[in-house]
Amino acid sequence: MKVVEVLHMNGGIGDISYANNSLVQRNVILMTKPIIEQAMSDLYCSLFPKNLCIADLGCSSGANTFLVISELVKTIEKERKKHGFQSPEFHFLFNDLPSNDFNTIFQSLGEFEHDLRKQFGEGFGPCYFSGVAGSFYSRLFPSKSLHFVHSSYSVHWLSQVPDFIEKNKGNIYITSTSPPSYINAYYKQFENDFSNFLKYRSEELMKGGKMVLTFLGRKVKILIPKNTGLIEEEKVDSFDVPNYTPSPGEVKYIVEKEGSFTINRLETTRVHWNNASNESNNGGYKMTRCMRAVAEPLLISQFGPKLMDLVFQKYEEIISDCMSKEKTEFVSVTVSLTKETD
CA distance 111 to 89: 19
Contact pattern from residue 51 through residue 90 relative to ligand SAM, giving x for each residue in contact according to CB under 6 A and a dash for the rest: -------xxx-x-x--------------------------
Considering only residues 28-47, where is the footprint of ligand SAM by CB under 6 A? 29
Cis bond before residue 242 (omega within 30° of 0): no
CA distance 152 to 116: 22
Contact pattern from residue 253 through residue 272 relative to ligand SAM, giving x for each residue in contact according to CB under 6 A and a dash for the rest: --------------------
CA distance 11 to 168: 31
Contact pattern from residue 138 through residue 177 relative to ligand SAM, giving x for each residue in contact according to CB under 6 A and a dash for the rest: --------------xxx--x-x------------------
**Which H or E element spans position 128?**
strand 127-133
Which residue, 157 or 303, has its beta carbon nearer to ligand SAM?
A: 157
User: Could you tell me which residues are beta bridge partners of residue 151?
Assistant: 213
Which residue, 17 or 154, has its beta carbon nearer to ligand SAM?
A: 154
# binding residues, ligand SAM (CB under 6 A): 24
Considering only residues 199-238, where is the footprint of ligand SAM by CB under 6 A? none
Q: Is 147 helix (H, G, I), strand (E, B) or coil?
A: strand
Residue 137 found at the interface with ligand SAM (CB under 6 A):
yes
Report the 10 Å Cβ neighbour count for 256. Answer: 11
CA distance 289 to 266: 30
Nearest residue to the partner ligand SAM, using Cβ: 58
Smallest gap from residue 3 Cβ to ligand SAM (A): 7
Cβ 140 vs Cβ 96: under 8 Å: no
Smallest gap from residue 332 Cβ to ligand SAM (A): 10
Closest to 214 in 3D by CA, of 141, 134, 268: 268
Tell me the residue type at 245.
T
> Rule CB under 6 A: which residues touch ligand SAM?
7-9, 22, 25, 29, 58-60, 62, 64, 95-97, 100, 135-137, 152-154, 157, 159, 294
